[in-house]
Chain A
Amino acid sequence: MKEKHCEKMKMDRNHSPTGREKIRRGVWGSAVAVAAFLLLCPVLSLAAAPLDGSEMHRRFADANAKYQNKQFQEALEEYLGLIAAGVRDPVLYYNAGNASVQLGQTGRAVVMYERALRLAPRDHLARKNLAYVRPADAGSAPFVLWRPFLYVRDLFSLNEWLIIAEVVVVWIAVAWSLLLLLREGPARSASRGFLVAGIVVAVAIGGFVPWRWYQERGRHIGAVVQKEVVSRHGPSMTLGEHMRLAEGTRVQILSREGNGWLCVRPLDGSGAAHERTYLKADAVEEV
C-alpha cells in the first residue's frame, strides 16, 4: 500500500500542471491578492490616522466643553489644533466655524463652514450656519432649470463621487466579463442589460465627477476675513479703489502676485461685482 502511494506521488511529480490547472491557480491567486488588498486598505488608512483615537476624542470633548463655557477663543484654538494635528473632519470645521461666529469672525467662519461642506456636503447644519454668516446680498439664485444639476453635484463630496464612479466602473467590468463568458441564453441577456444599464449610469454621472473636482480642487476659493476690505484696480495701494467687500464675501483666487497681493474675482454679490480685482493676501483666507 505504501509502495502504491509512493508511485502515485512520483507520478504526480512527473506530471507538470496542465493549462487548465494553471488558469485555476491563477484565478485563485488573483482572488486572494485582491482580497488581501481590500483587507489591507482599511488597515493602511488606520495606520495613517494622525492621532490616537482616545486622545483625539478627549481633545474634542475639551474643546466642546470650552465652547459650552463660552470660552470661544480657547475652543477655537483647540479645534484648530486638532485640525493642525491632521484630523480632517467636517465636525471639527463646523465647530470651529461656530466658535468663529461667536467671536465675530464671520469671514473665518465662512471658510470653516465651506471646508466642512467640502467634506460633508449634505451637512444641513453647516449649510444653514453658512447661510446665516454670509453677507446678506450673497448672490442671486441660479436659473431654475440649472438647480437640479447643482443639487446633484453638491449632494456628494469629491471622494464620494470618485467612489460612485469606481462602483460604476466595476459594475460595467463585471457585466462586460459576464457577457464575454456566458453562452447565449437568459443569463447572457441579463448581463447585456446589466452592461447597458451600467453604461447609461456612467454617462449620467460622468460629468459630475470633473464638475465636482473643479468645484473643490480645480479653482482656489477663499473668503474675505477682514472687515470692509477695499480692493484695488491693481496690486498696489497707490492704485485706485475698486470695490468694497464685506467680511465673509467669497472670492475666487485667480493668481498670487509676487508682492503679497492676490488677483481675485468676487463670487458673491450682484453680477456687476464679478470682475477681477486685487486684494492684499492677508485679507483673504483660502478654503
Chain B
Amino acid sequence: MDLKIGHRHDQMIRRTFRIGALVFAGAMVLVALAAGAAQPGVQLNASVPQSQITLADTLEYRIELTGVMGGQGAQPQPPDFQSAGFQVVGGPSVEQRFNLSPGIQSSSVAYRWALRPLREGTLEIPPARVTLPNGQALASNSIRVTVSKVAAPPPAVSSSFQGEEILPARTGNDAVDRQLSGRLFLRPIIDKTEAFVGEQVTLRFELYQAETLPVVGYGFESRPTYPGFLVEALYQPPRGQLEFQRQTVNGVAYRVATIEAVALFANRTGTVTIPAMVMTVDLPVQQQGRRRPRSPFDDSFFDDLFSDPFGPPTIPARVMTRAIEVKILPLPAENRPTSFSNTVGEFQITAAFDRPQVRQYDVVDLKVQFSGKGKVDAISPPPLPRMNELQLYKEQSSNEMSHAGGLVGGTKTFEFFLRPTVAGDIKFPGLSYTIFNPREKRYVELKTEPLALNVLPAPKSDQPVVISFPTTPGGPSGPAASPVVELNRNIEYIRTTGFLSHGLTAAPLYDSLAFLLFQAVPIALVAVSYGVRRRREKLEGDVAWARRRSARSVASKRLRGAAKLLTPEHGDRFFEELDRALRQFVADQLNESAAGLTADRIAQTLSGRGIETADVDELLALLELCESVRYAVSRPDAAEMRGAFERASELIDRLAKNLRT
C-alpha cells in the first residue's frame, strides 16, 4: 500500500514538472513575440552639447545608434570631419547600453569624438552613416555649429597667487568653466626671469586641483621645449604617475602635483621664450537619468566616478600656462680676464698627483677636481703649464652630477696622465682657472697650490722598456698598478675566417622531417626490446608452446642432418635420423616424450587434432619404413632414400601448417 502511494506521489511530481516546463516555454514564446511586436526601428542620431563655440574650444560630437538588438554589430561611418572644418583630437570612445526588460530588448551604442574647429564661421558636420547587418542603410542628422574667434582671455584665477598669470581650465562649456574657475589650473614657477648665460634658471610646473574635484585621467597636449637652453631634468613623475600632496591656499584644499621640474642653462643671449604647457584633464560627465545626489558640484553635469559600470564618460578640460619669457644677459665684458674659461657657476678647484714619487718614464696621474654649483659637465679642462720635464700622455674626465636642493652641481674630475722624462725633483706650478660667479656677478680666479714630484732614475737605460701606467680612475695605484691602460673602448674586430655553424642551420630542428622521423628510433628500440622480452618469458613459462614453436626448426635441423647421410652406404643412419626427425616433430607438437610415442598413440592424438587420415597414414608408413630399413639385411637404394626424404619433408610441412591452424 505504501509502495503504491509513493509511486503515485512520484507521478504527480513528474506531471507538475512537465506542466511547469510547458508553461515556462509558453511564457518565453509569448515574451519573444511581444518583444518582436514592440521592436522599435533602429535610429542613428548625431548631437553636440553646444552649437556655438570659439576657435579655442573643443567640441564633443556624439552619434548614437539605438534600437533593437539587431542593430548590434553595425559600425557607423563618421562624417568627414576634416572637410567639415574640424580636426579630430580624441576618440572615438564607445559606450554601449543594453535594455533587457521583458518586451523591450534594445541596445544603444554611442560613439564620441573630440573635435577642434579649424576655421570660424558656420560649419556643418554632414550626417554619419551606418549599414545594418540586414542591409538597411541609415543616416544621422547633420549638425550646424557656429564658430567664433577666440574670446578675450578669461580673467586670471583670483587667488593667493597674485602677480602670477594663471589661466583657468577650459572645457568649451561656459557653465562648467565657471565651476572649474579656481579649482583646476596649472601653475608655472620660475625662480628668475633674468639670468646670465650659463646661469641656472629653475622652472617647475604644478597642477592644482581642488580636493572635491573628481578627475579620471591626465594627458599632455603639448609640453614645452626649451630652445636656447641646456636642460637638466630635476624631477619627472615616477612611472608617469602624478604624485599629489595636499595643500591649502586661502582656505581652499588642493591636491598639488609637480608635473615637471627642470634646470635651464641658457646658451645664447637675448629674450628666450619658453612655450606654454597644455594638459588635458578628463573630468567625469554625469549621464542623464543616472544622476546621484552626491555630485561634487551638486550640478547635473558631474557625477560620481563609479556611477557607471561601463566606465564614466568624460569631458576633457584643458589647463595651460602662458608662454614664459626669460631675459638672458651676456657675461659682463668689463674686467673679463683673458684666461676666462667660459665656465659659469660657483666652483672650487683642487689638484694632486696620485703618488709623490714615480720612476722616470713611468706615468703619473694628475687629478684636477672641480666641485660646486653649476653645470659641471660643461666645465672645460684647465690648461696645463708647458713643462719639458713632463710629457702629457693622455687626459680623460668624469663627472658626478647632483641636484641637491634643486640646484645642479657636483664634481668634475680631469685626469692628466703625465710621463716624467727627467729624474729628480720636479716642481709643478699651481693651476689657474677663471670662472664667472653669477651670484656675485663677477669673474673669479681659482688657483691650486704648487705640487712636488720626486722622479727616480730609470732602472737600466734612458729609454723606457716597459712603461708602467696607473690603473683606470678609482682603481689601485702605485706598485700594484696595472701595466696596461685602455686608451679607447671599441668593439671587437670582425671574424675573417670560417663559419661557425658547423652544419647546424638557423631553422629549428623540429621543422626538419629527418629530426621528426628520428623520434621513432628510441620508441622502436624500446618496443622491440619489450616484444623480445615478452616472447622470451612466454617461451620460458609455457613449455608446450615453446616446444610447438620450436618443433619446425628442430625437425628442419634433423632433416638437414639426414640430408648429409643421403647415400646408400649410410642408409641405416639416414633412416634413423629421419625417424628421429618425424618422431621428435610429432612429440614437440603434442608436448609428449618422443620415446613413449607408439603408432596408436600418434594416430589417436593427430586424428584428435584434426589431421587428415591420409597424412596420419603417411606418417605411420614412413615411421614403419624407417623401422624396417634399419633392421633389414639389404641396403636401401638411393632412390628409395630420396623418396623417403622428400615425403618426410613434405609431410612435416603439411603437419606444421595444419597443426598451426
Contact = CB atoms under 8 A, between A and B. Distances in A.
Interface of A: 4, 7-8, 11, 14-15, 18-20, 23, 27, 30, 34, 37, 40-42, 44-45, 48, 60-61, 64, 67, 87-92, 94-95, 98-99, 101, 118-120, 123, 125, 128-129, 132-133, 157-160, 162-163, 166, 169-170, 172-174, 176-178, 180-181, 213, 216-217, 233, 238, 240-242, 272, 275
Contact of B492 (A14, A129, A163, A238): A129
Contacts of B101: none
A19 B552 CA distance: 10
Contacts of B89: 238
A163 B509 contact: yes
Nearest to B554: A18
Nearest to B553: A18
B532 interface: yes
A277 to B, nearest CB: 10
Given A95-B494, A238-B90, A162 B563 contact: no
B622 to A, nearest CB: 16
Contacts of A240: 219-220
A253 B79 CA distance: 34
B499 interface: yes
A132 B514 CA distance: 40
Interface string B514-534: 110111011111101110110
A91 B498 contact: yes
Nearest to A88: B506
B501 A90 contact: yes
Interface string B486-508: 00011111111011110111111
Chain B at the A interface: SS class: helix
Contacts of A41: 514
A87 B649 CA distance: 66
Top 8 A-B pairs, shortest CB-CB distance? A173-B522, A88-B506, A177-B529, A272-B239, A180-B529, A89-B499, A95-B494, A125-B492
B222 to A, nearest CB: 10
Given A119-B500, A132-B491, A170-B522, A18 B556 contact: yes
A170 B520 CA distance: 10
Nearest to A14: B649
B378 to A, nearest CB: 20
Q: Which of B238, B504, B514, B524 has the most CB of A within 10 A?
A: B504
Interface in B190-233: 219-220, 223
A89 B499 CA distance: 6
Contact of B220 (A67, A160, A241): A241
B521 A170 contact: yes
Contacts of A64: 494, 496
A163 to B, nearest CB: 7
Contacts of A99: 494
Given A7-B563, A11-B559, A238-B90, A162 B653 contact: no
Contacts of B219: 233, 240
Interface in B536-587: 549, 552-553, 556, 559-560, 563, 566
Given A15-B556, A18-B552, A180-B530, A89 B514 contact: no
A162 B508 contact: yes
A11 B642 CA distance: 11
A115 B331 CA distance: 54
B492 A11 contact: no
Contacts of A120: 500-501
A169 B522 contact: yes
11 contacts: A14-B650, A18-B556, A30-B524, A45-B505, A64-B494, A91-B498, A119-B500, A119-B506, A159-B504, A177-B529, A275-B239
A128 B490 CA distance: 10
Given A18-B553, A95-B494, A169-B522, A176 B503 contact: no
A18 B556 CA distance: 10
Given A42-B503, A94-B494, A181-B533, A176 B518 contact: no
B631 interface: no
Contact of B500 (A48, A123, A272): A123
A28 to B, nearest CB: 13
B207 to A, nearest CB: 15
A119 B495 contact: no
Nearest to B567: A4
B510 interface: yes
Nearest to B498: A91
B123 interface: no
B88 interface: yes
B111 to A, nearest CB: 16
Nearest to A79: B494
A279 B495 CA distance: 34
A27 B549 CA distance: 20
Contacts of A159: 504-505, 508-509
Given A181-B533, A238-B88, A241-B220, A37 B514 contact: yes
B532 A180 contact: yes
A7 B566 contact: yes
A90 B500 contact: yes
Given A7-B563, A159-B508, A128 B492 contact: yes
Interface string B85-126: 000111000000000000000000000000000000000000
A267 to B, nearest CB: 17
B503 A7 contact: no
A14 B514 contact: no
B529 A162 contact: no
A119 B522 CA distance: 27
Contacts of B240: 242, 272
A119 B239 contact: no
B491 A129 contact: yes
Contacts of A163: 509
Contacts of B499: 60, 87, 89, 91-92
Nearest to A131: B491
Contacts of B528: 27, 30, 177
B522 A133 contact: no
Nearest to A128: B492
A166 B518 contact: yes
A94 B495 contact: yes
Contacts of B552: 18
B556 A176 contact: no
B118 to A, nearest CB: 15
A272 B241 CA distance: 10
Contacts of A128: 491-492
Contacts of B489: 132
B491 A133 contact: yes
B513 to A, nearest CB: 9
B596 to A, nearest CB: 26
Contact of B563 (A11, A119, A172): A11
A52 to B, nearest CB: 14
A67 B566 contact: no
Nearest to A157: B504
A180 B519 CA distance: 20
B493 A98 contact: yes
A241 B88 CA distance: 17
A153 B553 CA distance: 57
A120 B504 CA distance: 10
A174 B525 contact: yes
A61 B510 CA distance: 32
Contacts of A92: 499
A29 B424 CA distance: 90
A277 B43 CA distance: 37
A133 B492 CA distance: 11
B649 A11 contact: yes
Nearest to B496: A64
A121 to B, nearest CB: 11
B517 A125 contact: no
B533 A180 contact: yes
A241 B489 CA distance: 35
Nearest to A93: B506
Contacts of A169: 519, 522
Contact of B508 (A37, A176, A217): A217
Given A15-B653, A132-B489, A217-B508, 4 more contacts: A45-B503, A162-B510, A176-B529, A181-B529
